[in-house]
Amino acid sequence: MSAIFLSREEARNLDRRAMEEFGMPGIVLMENAGRGAAELLLALGIHGRVIVCCGGGNNGGDGFVMARHLDNWNLPVQVFLFARPEDLVGDAATNYRVIERAGLAITVFPGGAVDPAQFSEDLARAEWIVDALFGTGLVGPVRRPMVPVLQAINAGHARVLAVDIPSGLDCDTGEATEPTIRAQHTVTFAALKKGYSNPRSRDWTGQVHLVDIGVPRALFKPPPAGVPA
């Protein structure tokens, strides 16, 4: 685990090199990230329902892993999926099938469309909301129909844990777009993100926690001369 700051592209390359050069399966990295995030949430204290809001990419896959471990620990957890299950691919699809077959409570909002009043009422029953919607790959502001989702999360009284980065916050600059999730805690993986060096990012990330997901330490060393990073 490294305390250096990685840009969006550097974070992608770190994962790619771990898989291609060191043979680490992506699903292992996702498992380590999701379990590490779940263990952090447990350490922060869970005394009520946890709602894990998941997008259709790998950030959502981390959320599926989190939900499985929380359920294994006999904690009340519900998954809100803002994508069609049939559109999920790769490791995220695998982890979704696991929680679906395990009988976890899952509510699907195809395309992200929600009834604002009902959605706010659902969120009000949670002690914690996990933001596993977009992750570091988001470029530019969140687009409709997800805007009311982020607004409702921010308007609620639940504590928020963001996975890797709050949705709407730019990974490279640390600047917030409109809307951006305002989290009390953010769990990020392998290395801090470049945007966290911007002091203004703290208004959105809250306390940042760095979790080791098993990426080999050798990947944080500069590549030999003439070898592309």
What's residue 133's pLDDT? 96
Q: Tokens in use for 150?
A: 């982020």
pLDDT value of position 162? 98
| 130 strand-pairing partners | 52, 161
Query: What pLDDT does 1 receive?
Result: 44
Helix (H, G, I), strand (E, B) or coil at 40: helix
For residue 144, the model assigns a pLDDT of 85
pLDDT tens for the 229 residues of the chain, in order: 446 899 999 999 999 999 999 999 999 999 999 999 999 999 999 999 999 999 999 999 999 999 999 999 999 999 999 999 999 999 999 999 999 999 999 999 987 788 888 899 999 999 999 999 998 988 888 888 899 999 999 999 999 999 999 999 999 999 999 999 999 999 999 999 999 999 999 999 999 999 999 999 899 876 555 555 5
Q: What is the pLDDT of residue 112?
A: 76
Q: How far apart are CA 184 and CA 57, in angstroms?
A: 23
CB 59 within 8 A of CB 66: no
| CA distance to 61, 88, 166, per residue, from 161 (Å) | 15, 23, 8
- CA 172, 174, 176 angle in degrees (round to 5)? 120
Pick the CATH number of 5-216 from 3.40.50.970, 2.30.30.100, 3.90.226.10, 3.40.50.10260: 3.40.50.10260
pTM of the model: 0.93
Contact 181, 153 (CB under 8 A): yes
Mark out the alpha helices in 102-190 (DSSP H runs): 116-123, 147-155
